C-alpha cells in the first residue's frame, strides 16, 4: 500500500534513506529536514512496516524533483520502486507540473519510466541548493534525468518576479524543451 507519509513514519524513513547515504548512494537527511519536507513524502507499507519511501519536491513552475527514493533491501525486485515512481508521476500531474527530474546513479531504472539523461547545466540553479549538504559537492557524479508529462500543458513563465519594496530580481532562466 502506498500513502502520504505522517510524522510516525519519520524514524523509519530516516533509517531507509540514511542506510544508503552511508554508502554514498543518497543524500543524508536529518530528522529536521524530514519533518520540514514531510508533505513531499509518500511511503510504501507492507506487513505493517514501511519498506520504501520517496519525496517529490517542487523546484519551479515547470519542474519537480524526485528525492530520497529508496526501497528496503529485503523488499527489492517486487515492483515497489515502480509504485513509488508512479506516485510521483501522479502527484506531478495533480500539481500540473510538466517535468520531473532526478539526480541519480540508477540510470537504467529511471529509463524504464521514460526519464532521459540531460545536461546538468540545463537544470534550474535551485536544484543545486541541496549540494551544500553533499560531501561530494563539485565532485558530483550523479546523472541528471528528466521525464516530461506530455499531457500536462506548458506553463507561461513569468518574466519578472514579484518582489517587496519595488526591488526587481531576475527569475531563473527558462530552458526550452
Ligand atoms: C532503485 C530502487 C528504488 C528500485 O526499487 P525496486 O523496488 O527494487 O524496483 P522495482 O522492483 O519496482 O523495479 C521496477 C523495474 O525496474 C527494474 N530495476 C530495478 N532496479 C534497477 C536498476 N538498478 N537498474 C535497472 N533496472 C532496475 C526492475 O527490473 C523492474 O523492471 P521490470 O518492470 O521490467 O521487471 C532500489 O534498488 C533502491 O532503493 N536502490 C537504492 C537507493 C537508490 O539508489 N535510489 C535511487 C536514488 S535516486
Distance CA 97, CA 155 (A): 8
Distance CA 55, CA 14 (A): 12
Distance 65 CA to ligand 1 centre (A): 17
Query: Which of 20, 79, 86, 109 should be mutated for ligand 1, with most atoms under 8 A from CB?
Result: 109
Render each residue's pLDDT in the chain as its tens digit; 177 residues: 999 999 999 999 999 999 988 777 788 899 999 999 999 999 999 999 999 999 999 999 999 999 999 999 999 999 999 999 999 999 999 999 999 999 999 999 999 999 999 998 888 776 777 776 666 666 677 899 999 999 999 998 777 777 777 666 666 666 666
- Residue-level pLDDT at 174: 60
136 lines ligand 1 (CB under 6 A): no
- Residue-level pLDDT at 42: 98
Amino acid at each position: 500500500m502506498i500513502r502520504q507519509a505522517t510524522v510516525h513514519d519519520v524514524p523509519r524513513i530516516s533509517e531507509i534513506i540514511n542506510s544508503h547515504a552511508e554508502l554514498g548512494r543518497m543524500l543524508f537527511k536529518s530528522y529536521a529536514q524530514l519533518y520540514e519536507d514531510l508533505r513531499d513524502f509518500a511511503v510504501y507499507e507492507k506487513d505493517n512496516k514501511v519498506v520504501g519511501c520517496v519525496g517529490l519536491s517542487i523546484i519551479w513552475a515547470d519542474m519537480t524533483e524526485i528525492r530520497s527514493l529508496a526501497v528496503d533491501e529485503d523488499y527489492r525486485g517486487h515492483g515497489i520502486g515502480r509504485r513509488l515512481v508512479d506516485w510521483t508521476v501522479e502527484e506531478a500531474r495533480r500539481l500540473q507540473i510538466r517535468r520531473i527530474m532526478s539526480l541519480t546513479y540508477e540510470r537504467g531504472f529511471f529509463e524504464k519510466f521514460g526519464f532521459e539523461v540531460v545536461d546538468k547545466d540545463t537544470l534550474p540553479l535551485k536544484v543545486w541548493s541541496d549540494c551544500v549538504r553533499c560531501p561530494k559537492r563539485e565532485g558530483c557524479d550523479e546523472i541528471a534525468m528528466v521525464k516530461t508529462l506530455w499531457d500536462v500543458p506548458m506553463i507561461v513563465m513569468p518574466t519578472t518576479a514579484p518582489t517587496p519594496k519595488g526591488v526587481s530580481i531576475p527569475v531563473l532562466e527558462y530552458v526550452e524543451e
